[in-house]
Structure 1
């Protein structure tokens, strides 16, 4: 477990490793613990290997990272096979599913390679009119609903499959891609970036709560590195000032941690710079920064449950349970 006083050094060393430049005298036990928590251990290995720096690590650290990377590679191969089977079944019913999040790089990666990103499940979306037929197709493959409405699963698979309805308010229309006899729709890079930002900063409240999903931040940085993302166009598409503030705060974090080039105007406004400082400070100083995070959690919890859940229609125990889950859910955030 990472000692609280060492969190900042571990975070700095992890980010340096993800950038392919390992730091000298890193506390690798703390770095690995943080990488495991943020689901970035395979990416850490692959980043150092691509940069030719993996042999700079102590042997036991190198072998542990290689072991986790190889296990994740085998799991991703199974996930890709599972994804191909599901897409083929949907195609036979003339459905071309929209791939989301981790399913996109799994599908697009070359046959002999898979991405090092840890993927928890497979996210697919279909037209609402096709959802019933799509569910029937998956049930014929043996999928059953998971308790709690979190998706569909089979005992033999490496992960769950989540089927959802496409929305009419997509930022940009998806592209139809055909590969290996399979047809899917892939959101453009800017739509994928918007999805991650809206999900983390607004839906999960990371902007108010002062949290950072380092894995998604790394995803965004890699996306910006490999594809042409028009951040100003994305900025202009945001619904209101709070959403634009959140986007600018995330861009500043990408620049701070991974050196991503961002529009200069996104780093100037005081509210954005304060929010960025608050997120970095609480991530690197969890004890001193606890009051800041608690205040953000309280504001987010009050806003979310008063507007989204309808407190008057729920019992007090249910409300308290939801608030506690919001305030103390550790998940993979820092």
Structure 2
């Protein structure tokens, strides 16, 4: 099975559909790489297709789903403990990314999403108190990684300062006596899009984080997400191009309804074509990938010069990873 065929089969599976003549080894390898194996099992189970799978495939997917459920239970307990400790200090944290469904989902219906860590924000004046609270719980800074951790926990906890995003204040939510704030749908979508396309360079490198794309598709499907408001909030042309590129890719894979204006401008259409072409044709698309990696490197030139002064060996290592398309984690 070619890489693009495995991709199509995975996307269909995430929507609860099976395609004919599936190469399960290739599909599962891609699902594992993109951290979507539990989501694949959940979608096929909900659509009633799970019994049509070969027995060994079904057993493997169920095993991974069960392991992920146990890990999410641990992450949820870790999150609840943290929120309770913050609340006792008068701090109402803002939950970000994967921490949101872990908190709001009923205990018996934990999300199937693979969550790597817990992202929590607090107001600027609460940072010191929040960090001190975590230290009392036994958390310590992780060297060379942004976050704090304990040996017994399933994931790292990343504490950051909340920055207003133009979509109003996060809304207070209370569950089982615990108080948190949750950003709007548009703010959560913008966080994922800007993190991937701009902070991690997917817009320049032509990469796709399929797990986050699936997150966006589910967010848009479950609730009324105002894409037009999101497009209006973009501060400049580059961020608007990045958003429209992601919307085109979202529509391409998951059929999500997007504003007509998002598909009309030449640059996002070109960037979208480049992403899809290099995913489906990795050999002939290699020059496009190299050009994108070089563009990404140039866009980070200022930071690179700073890193070169502090740690030239680390700069060479990172440059090698970028140019060789390594260290991409779950991206395709």
Structure 2 residue 160 is the aligned partner of structure 1 residue 133: no
Residue 291 of structure 2 is aligned to residue 295 of structure 1: yes
Tell me what 2:51 maps to.
55
Give the 3 Å change call, closer, same or farther, for CA 269–280 of structure 1 in structure 2. Answer: same
TM normalised by structure 1 equals 0.95
The residue number in structure 1 matching 2:241 is 245
**Which string of whole-angstrom CA distances, capped at 9 and with x for unpartnered residues, describes residues 164-208 of structure 1?**
111144533200111111000101100000000100011111011
1:153/1:161 contact within 8 Å kept: yes
Q: Distance in 2 between matches of 1:221 and 1:318?
A: 36
Aligned length: 330
Q: Which runs of 5+ in 1 are unaligned?
A: none
- Maintained 8 Å contact 2:9/2:18: yes
Inter-partner Cα distance in structure 2 for 1:247 and 1:309:
29
The aligned counterpart of 1:98 is 94
Q: 2:160: which partner in 1?
A: 164
2: CA distance, partners of 1:42 / 1:97: 28
| Counterpart-to-counterpart distance in 2, 1:252 and 1:268 | 10
Counting only pairs closer than 5 Å after superposition, residues 221-260 of structure 1 correspond to structure 2 as: 221-260=217-256
- CA distance in 2 between counterparts of 1:159 and 1:318 reads 25
Q: Does 1:30 align with 2:26?
A: yes
TM-score, with normalisation over the residues of structure 2?
Answer: 0.96
Q: Measure, in 2, the Cα distance between the counterparts of 1:168 and 1:39.
A: 30
- Structure 2 residue aligned with 1:189: 185
CA–CA distance in structure 2, aligned partners of residues 312 and 17 of structure 1 = 45
Contact 2:142 2:148 in 1 (8 A): yes
List 4+ stretches of structure 1 deviating above 4 A.
311-316
How far the C-alpha of 1:142 sits from its partner, in A, is: 1.1
CA distance in 2, matches of 1:317, 1:153: 27
Question: RMSD of the TM alignment (CA)?
Answer: 1.5
Are the aligned partners of 2:166 and 2:233 in contact in 1 as well (CA < 8 Å)? no
Distance 2:286 2:123 in 1: 43
Mapped partners of 2:279, 2:171: distance in 1:
37
Task: Provide the residue aligned with 1:286 in structure 2.
Answer: 282
Q: How does 1:298-313 map to 2 (within 5 A)?
A: 298-306=294-302, 310=306, 313=309
Task: Deviation per CA, 1:92-148: give whole Å up to 9, x if none.
Answer: 000001101100000010121100000001111111211111111111111111111
CA distance in 2, matches of 1:170, 1:62: 45
**What SS is found at the alignment partner of 2:300?**
helix
Distance 1:37 1:310, change over 3 A: same
Structure-2 change in CA distance of 1:179 and 1:315 (3 Å): closer
1:330 paired with 2:328, answer: yes
| 8 A Cα contact 1:232 1:263, kept in partner | yes
> Is the CA contact (8 Å cut-off) linking 2:165 and 2:187 kept in structure 1?
no
Q: Separation in 2 of the partners of 1:309 and 1:232?
A: 38
Aligned partners of 1:182, 1:72: CA distance in 2, in Å? Answer: 25
What are the superposed Cα offsets for residues 235-290 of structure 1, whole Å, 9 maximum, x if unpaired? 01101111111111111111110010111121122222211111011112211111
How many Å separate the matches in 2 of 1:158 and 1:315? 31
